[in-house]
Structure 1
Amino acid sequence: MSRVVRNALLFGLTPLLAGSDLLVKALTIALFGLLLMSLGGVTLMPLRRWLQGKALALAALLLSALLIGCGDLLLQLFSGELHAALAAWLPLLALPMLALAFDERPTITSGLHAGLAFAALALSLGLLREGFGNGSLFAHMDWLFGQAASSWQLSLHGGIGLLAYAPGALILIGLLLAARRLFFNSTSEPS
């Protein structure tokens, strides 16, 4: 993986650090990321025949701007509260799309795989940050599912306030990566 791809993927984590303090926001970011990267990966494959290097990166940025703009308008129409909470962070999802353009061995499912990994991380962070940081689960679900979902909130006893902020998200990402490494290293060793 080249340095450009790694940097684009790291900057693509910014929406997760800022917008995953509530599960409903993390779910929205996960859906946006999954759709954007899946559609972008499929759309970039045929463009690779005619475009390479910087031209392909520009095409990826233009395509992601189009998809993010359409998604932003739909979110604004569907839920004004979610749009207000996430509007500043959703355009940064263009960076993982840029990473797809620089993928050295792309396949038709590269975007889907990247989108699923992004969505899994977003949902994990949202669940952990809201549960352990805010001491609740399913807060503000009415933003996404309507007034009937306002009674879904579960209150847990207390929370660790640090985990609700961006530094807490970095701590949790580190712990999730360590757990992943521990799990996959322990399962790949022969018995």
Structure 2
Amino acid sequence: MNQYQEISWQGLWKNNPALVQMLGLCPLLAVTNTAVNALGLGLATLFVLIGSNITVSIVRNWIPNEIRIPVFVMVIASLVTIVQLLMNAYTYELYQTLGIFIPLIVTNCAIIGRAEAFASKNSVQFAAYDGLMMGSGFLVVLLALGAIREVLGNGTLLQGAEQIFGEAASNWHLVLFSPEQNFLLAILPPGAFIIMGLLIALKNKYDKRIEKLVIGEKTKQTIERARVTTESA
């Protein structure tokens, strides 16, 4: 694989920030009770991750090694402030719903980790693409978790989509079923832990299956090469 393919594979699957690195779990489990909340937080995190990676890559050669972490934190905090102000101006209801978890993006280890491990050592285009892939991987997990919890808990999907996409999205709200009482376990944080564990288990099971297929294919190729060598001799 070329470097772009490797970055995509790492960010979206093999080294996914949520499913593999287990980073950013506090907001991931706290605000993903609906798909819209999850999407809002995921997009905010994606913007900060891309912006911080680009900025760190640009200034990496001018930052003394001794103060690199404080500089990274300042960059991330500045971008989070921009996101906060934009959400306050254009998606105020969603901003109120997400509350403290928007400023807490500053402490998301996935963001500062990518700044330190990747952006500070690579060119701008690779750093930007890494931010895009890592942020997208985190966003996909957030969205999947939010959608599952919303469906199980409320029987709905995309409730409140107009908070992000405007009044045009007010009819995107789907009612899949109407429970007499909401399934509180799915809505509350314990349900998030359970569903997150199931998602991780499914990923691990799929990885093991792929690994077995790859090993089996390599074994077949080795046997075939040995047979050809034997017949040639």
Q: Which TM-score tier does this pair reach, normalised by the shorter chain?
A: 0.7 to 0.9
Question: What does residue range 74-113 of structure 1 map to in structure 2 within 5 Å?
Answer: 74-94=86-106, 95=108, 96-103=110-117, 106-107=121-122, 108=127, 109-113=129-133
* Residue 175 (structure 2) pairs with residue 155 (structure 1): yes
Judged with a 3 Å threshold, the aligned counterparts in structure 2 of structure 1 residues 143 and 55 are, in CA distance, closer, same or farther, namely: same
Q: 1:98 to 1:140 in 2, by over 3 A?
A: same
| C-alpha distance in structure 2 between counterparts of 1:140 and 1:48, whole Å | 41
Matched, 1:129 2:143: no
Task: Give the match for residue 23 of structure 1.
Answer: 35
What letter is aligned with 1:55?
I
Shift of 1:182: 0.8
Change (3 A) 1:184 1:46: same
Unaligned 5+ residue runs, structure 2?
Answer: 1-16, 217-233
Matched, 1:142 2:138: no
Residue of structure 1 equivalent to 2:211: 188
Question: 1:115: how far off?
Answer: 0.9
1:45 pairs, out of 57, 73, 82, with 57
Aligned counterparts of 1:24 and 1:114: Cα–Cα separation in 2: 20
Q: Whose Rg is larger?
A: 2
Q: Secondary structure at the match of 2:160?
A: coil
Residue-by-residue CA offset, 1:102-129 (whole Å, 9 max, x unaligned): 3278542332232121111111111111
TM-score normalised per structure 2:
0.71
Task: Count the aligned residue pairs.
Answer: 185
Give the direction of change, closer, same or farther, for the CA distance of 1:86–1:137 in structure 2 (3 Å limit).
same
Say which is worse superposed, 33-42 or 148-157, in terms of deviation: 148-157
2: CA distance, partners of 1:53 / 1:133: 48
In structure 2, the CA distance between the partners of 1:53 and 1:87, relative to structure 1 (3 Å rule), is: farther
The corresponding residue for 2:135 is 115
2:146 alignment partner, SS class: helix
- CA displacement at 1:11 relative to structure 2: 5.6
Structure 1, residues 141-182: CA drift from partner, whole Å, max 9, x if none? 121222332232222233532111112111111111111111
Give the conservation status (yes or no) of the 8 Å contact 2:52–2:115: no
| 1:32 CA drift (Å) | 0.8
**Please, what TM-score do these two structures have when normalized by structure 1?**
0.85
Gaps of 5+ in 1: none
Change (3 A) 1:92 1:186: same
Is it true that 1:168 corresponds to 2:194 in the alignment? no
Contact 1:19 1:86 in 2 (8 A): yes
